[in-house]
């Protein structure tokens, strides 16, 4: 088991970011952007994989999650500036980065807006901009996520009511409860993973930790996803991988296909056997191996 280091960092603008890191503290840095709703958290297997490779794996809670100060009205692009500010505080010049699920758009922001610092990036099971041309954003998405994004599109009041209800339901939830609560967005491969492996327990704990001090990280993520992102993914020029599973009901497969098509230099891994959760469990070591080649 690798040792984790938990701390907070105060940025120049006075906001605080909650941070957790594992692996080699002197190794090349990989900054991970977790999903929605998740804060500063490293899944055990991913942390151990980073340690074996001599990587310094860092995760921070986006504003509003855990002990990270809210930044109301933030855009997806704002994640690039927070990531750069965190790297500055930690004395890190260049770094690799990956983002999964709700972290996918935020890692794309880093790749697009920090080309002099990001040596390579990977977007895993991420969504496209809501206004993206040539794709129906909600098509093939599980019912619960359709309700959630529709609420976000209706504005802060509606998404706040949705998140408040979900927050109450999550209190005290275990892996089985989590699976039941998100049944409409779990494909068969994802349901088996959540119910039968330790990652379901970790997922529930991560979500609970993220919303322990409030629900604004979740609210602001959803609002940011459905508003202009503040950058064009097609402008990305740094080495990039796009990972997506065909059995994904949270971020449908068409989202991965769209990203792969609109970021032509990206290396696409569009896998028929994967869902959404299976990426957390099975694909991060492959991502780490690829990122390490660029560090």
pLDDT at 175: 54
Q: Within 10 A of 206 (CB to CB), how many other CB atoms are there?
A: 21
pLDDT at 208: 79
Fold of 5-294: Rossmann fold (3.40.50)
CA-closest candidate to residue 107, choices 83, 94, 123: 123
pLDDT at 134: 97
User: Taking phi first (over 0 means left), then psi (-120 to 50 degrees means alpha), and beta for anything else, what does residue 259 get?
Assistant: alpha
Record the tokens describing residue 167, joined without a space.
């927050």
pLDDT at 154: 98
pLDDT at 150: 98
pLDDT at 214: 80
Q: How far apart are CA 113 and CA 227, in angstroms?
A: 18
pLDDT at 114: 98
pTM of the model: 0.96
Q: Within 10 A of 139 (CB to CB), how many other CB atoms are there?
A: 10
CA-closest candidate to residue 124, choices 144, 143, 92, 102: 102
Three-class SS of the chain: CCCCEEEEEECCCCCEEEEEEEECCCCCEEEEECCCCCCCCCCHHHHHHHHHCCCEEEEECCCCCCCCCCCCCCCCCHHHHHHHHHHHHCCCCCEEEEEECCHHHHHHHHHHHCCCCEEEEEEECCCCCCCCCCCCCCCCCCHHHHHHHHHHHCCHHHHHHHHHHHHHHHCCCCHHHHHHHCHHHCCHHHHHHHHHCHHHHHHHHHHHHHCCCCCHHHHHHHHHHCCCCCCCHHHCCCCEEEEEECCCCCCCHHHHHHHHHHCCCCEEEEECCCCCHHHHHHCHHHHHHHHHHHC
The tens place of each residue's pLDDT in the chain, 295 residues long, gives 468 999 999 999 999 999 999 999 999 999 999 999 999 999 999 999 999 999 999 999 999 999 999 999 999 999 999 999 999 999 999 999 999 999 999 999 999 999 999 999 999 999 999 999 999 999 999 999 999 999 999 999 999 999 998 888 777 665 566 656 677 888 999 988 888 778 777 887 788 777 877 899 999 999 999 999 999 999 999 999 999 999 999 999 999 999 999 998 999 999 999 999 999 999 999 999 999 999 9
pLDDT at 180: 65
pLDDT at 176: 61
pLDDT at 178: 60
């Amino acid at each position: 088991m690798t040792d984790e280091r938990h701390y907070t960092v105060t940025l120049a603008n006075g906001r605080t970011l909650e941070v957790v890191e594992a692996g080699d503290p002197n190794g090349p840095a990989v900054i991970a952007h977790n999903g929605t709703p998740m804060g500063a958290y490293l899944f055990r297997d991913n942390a151990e994989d980073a340690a074996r490779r001599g990587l310094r794996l860092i995760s921070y809670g986006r504003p509003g999650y855990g002990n990270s100060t809210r930044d109301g009205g933030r855009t997806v692009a704002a994640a690039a500036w927070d990531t750069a500010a965190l790297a500055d505080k930690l004395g890190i010049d260049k770094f690799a980065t990956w983002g999964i699920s709700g972290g996918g758009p935020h890692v794309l922001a880093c790749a697009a807006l920090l080309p002099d610092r990001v040596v390579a990036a990977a977007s895993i099971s991420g969504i496209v901009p809501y206004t993206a041309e040539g794709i129906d954003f909600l098509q093939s998405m599980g019912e619960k996520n359709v309700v959630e994004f529709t609420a976000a599109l209706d504005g802060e009041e509606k998404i706040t009511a949705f998140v408040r209800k979900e927050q109450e339901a999550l209190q005290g939830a275990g892996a089985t409860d989590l699976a039941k609560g998100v049944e409409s967005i779990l494909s068969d491969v994802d349901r088996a993973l959540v119910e039968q492996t330790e990652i379901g327990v970790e997922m529930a704990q991560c979500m609970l930790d993220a919303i322990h001090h409030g629900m604004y990280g979740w609210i602001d993520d959803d609002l940011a996803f459905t508003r202009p992102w503040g950058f064009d993914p097609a402008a990305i020029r740094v080495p990039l991988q796009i990972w997506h599973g065909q059995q994904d009901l949270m971020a449908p497969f068409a989202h991965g296909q769209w990203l792969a098509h609109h970021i032509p230099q990206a290396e696409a891994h569009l896998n028929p056997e994967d869902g959404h959760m299976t990426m957390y469990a099975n694909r991060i070591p492959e991502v780490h191996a690829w990122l390490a080649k660029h560090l």
